[in-house]
Structure 1
Amino acid sequence: MADLIPQLRGTLPAVLQDAGEDASDRVIEFFTAEIRNENTREAYGRAVRRFFRWAAHRQLDLSDIEPVHVAAYVEEDDRAPATVKQNLAALRRLFDFLVTGQVLEANPAEPVRSPKLQTDNGKTPALTAEEARELLNSIVAEKQELPQLRDRAIIGVMTYTFARVSAVVGLDVGDYFRAGHRWKIRLREKGGQRRTVPVHHKAKEYLDAYINEAGIREDREAPLFQSLRGRTGELTGRRLQPDNALQMVKRRAEDAGFDPAQISCHTFRATGITTYLENDGDLETAQHIAGHASANTTRIYDRREDHVDQEEIERVRI
């Protein structure tokens, strides 16, 4: 490892290299020892490189950086609010590590406020396709065991079907079924509403991996998503509750480097719909896929949600 450190120093942004070996070594320690998740490490690495390129263009040394500089950087960042928040979280954590290592006296990112995660159309934050993909991939980055496969499948189904968490955890094994050459999911939404949608190929991949590992494919009346037994990670046979799914989502988001306070189960409903529309999906079709209510009472008899084309589902390109 001692031979590797000089090589790693040379890969750091110039501002960090110029700050001296103590600073460089502390940054290397942060990325090798403090950040253990590979996807988080990559995400934080991109955030740190981007910020210090910005600082170098303004001829700032590490010791020169103050809250006003970090605030200016955040203000100039025109990417999605969720991405900006994630980048700021990475900087806060790195600077904290430099403070505890006595490289810096104070964390310049700590006082800087994150952008609000909301759009003109509502308060539910939506991840970008890249962010959603990063989160889903991070869950199975280190292990592909039953807990990881279950959690990825839950988030994947919420994202690709636009379903509420209550409908997803309410699924039985038999609600995921084959109809001709297609696979479909039968959802029970609030108010007793039922809808059947085709399964996106990525959601099918996630579901099959989980069901095969769990060995529950033939137990069609059993809850599809079940709670886990202690540290063994075995299924209990009991249905996972929405509150427990929310705790899982926040834990997985934090592990992937996102701010868990800004992520909820509804985030993935908003993410799926937004990505669908961004890829030229039809707004009215999105309404049917999501099971949204309409003021028009004739929609009670509208059965288009039962005939959504597979091509429409595949517009959710995550």
Structure 2
Amino acid sequence: MAQQLPELRSRLHAQLPALLGEAGEEAGRRVIEFFTAEIRNVNTRKAYGRAVTQFFNWAKANGLTLHTIEPVHVAAYVEQDDRAPATVKQHLSAISRLFDWLVTGQVVARNPAAPVRPPKLVVDEGKTPILTAAETRELLDSIVDVAGQDDEGGDPVAAGSNNSIAVSSGDVAKLRDRAIIGVMVYTFARVSAVARLNVSDYYRAGHRWKLHLQEKGGKRRDLPVHHKAGEYLGTYLKAAGICEEKGAPLFQSLKGRTGQLTGRRLDPANILHMVKRRARDAGFDPDQVCCHTFRGTGITTYLENGGQLETAQHIAGHASATTTKLYDRRSQNVQQEEIERIRI
């Protein structure tokens, strides 16, 4: 990590908006510190980078400098931004946090974004499309057509010391992909947490199997594994032959069509590409299926079957039940028969 920081600083310096580059060496240094020391999450860093770049490019186009930006200018920028309120709110937050950092470093005297109010955001439900339980089962069943591969207990070491089973090269990819989607559905896990899993993170605790998840913000959770997810994981691990490679990534890329794992971790972008490809192959609109779909699908299905919102909150790792509620789409489940009552 220490070796990567100089490279990251150099890359960020080259990407500084012209307005910040013109503000002097100390301003540039402080901005780079903000993105390396203050913003630790990679996804947040990218989102905030886009936000401040767009703002400072707008400011320069309007004849402003870092030291002449006033609250009225920030308000004008927010006012002309016609994107979704959630996006505008995030951009304003990024601008304000950066200015706070510059104030602390005595680069500017005050934060011009602090007095600016974000657009009102009223959200009752999330926008991520979800699948029904039946559709999710259809998708999972469409991936693997290998008879007799499932292991009821999810125990990856039950097959013997070599921990592998005979499957064709394409089957390893299918079993891996089904296991990935199964983990997202049955644990409500974010794709970033699934991508970070190592083989050792799937472990036996007494008579149960658990997954050790590392979520955003450094949160760590240990969750019991649903028996179906256990079947998918156990079958995949045995087929891949990596049961004893505890320090290896759980979900790895493959060498072409050989079915051999590379040892390299699938990243969230790889997983998203896979999800859309599997959705398309199963006859679904890939634009309506993403990794977050399975988080919402799992939560909604859990609640439909009598689960408690507070428990769903705990499984999902949400700080607030209000956030969990956004994933509950039970109110969207209007049956076709009800629509057909509109007899015109």
What TM-score, normalized to structure 2?
0.50
What is residue 166 of structure 1 aligned with on the other side? 192
Structure with the largest fraction of helix: 1
What is residue 285 of structure 2 aligned with on the other side? 259
What is residue 303 of structure 2 aligned with on the other side? 277
Which consecutive unaligned segments of at least 5 residues does structure 2 have?
A: 1-122, 147-167, 323-344
SS of residue in 1 equivalent to 2:222: strand
What is residue 213 of structure 2 aligned with on the other side? 187
What is residue 208 of structure 1 aligned with on the other side? 234
Mapped to 1, the partners of 2:310 and 2:130 lie a distance apart of 19
Mapped to 1, the partners of 2:246 and 2:179 lie a distance apart of 17
What is residue 133 of structure 1 aligned with on the other side? 137
Q: Deviations over 1:241-270 (max 9, x none)?
A: 100000000000000000001110000010
Letter in 1 for 2:128: T
Mapped to 2, the partners of 1:294 and 1:194 lie a distance apart of 16
Q: How many residues align?
A: 178
Letter in 1 for 2:300: T
Mapped to 1, the partners of 2:273 and 2:213 lie a distance apart of 22
What is residue 178 of structure 1 aligned with on the other side? 204
What is residue 225 of structure 1 aligned with on the other side? 251
Mapped to 1, the partners of 2:185 and 2:321 lie a distance apart of 25
Higher relative contact order (CA 8 A, sep 6+): 1
Mapped to 2, the partners of 1:129 and 1:284 lie a distance apart of 21
Could you say if the C-alpha distance between residues 128 and 295 of structure 1 is closer, same or farther in structure 2, counting changes exceeding 3 Å? closer
Contact 2:313 2:321 (8 Å CA) reproduced: no
Mapped to 1, the partners of 2:320 and 2:279 lie a distance apart of 33
What is residue 317 of structure 2 aligned with on the other side? 291
Letter in 2 for 1:128: T
SS of residue in 2 equivalent to 1:232: coil
Mapped to 2, the partners of 1:169 and 1:214 lie a distance apart of 17
What TM-score, normalized to structure 1?
0.54
Moved over 6 A (4+): none
Q: Is the radius of gyration larger for structure 1 or structure 2? A: 2
Question: What is the identity percentage for the equivalent residue pairs of Structure 1 and Structure 2?
Answer: 72
**1:234 Cα offset (Å):** 1.2
What is residue 341 of structure 2 aligned with on the other side? none
Q: What RMSD, in angstroms, separates the aligned Cα atoms of the two structures?
A: 1.8
Mapped to 2, the partners of 1:273 and 1:153 lie a distance apart of 18
Q: Does 1:244 align with 2:270?
A: yes
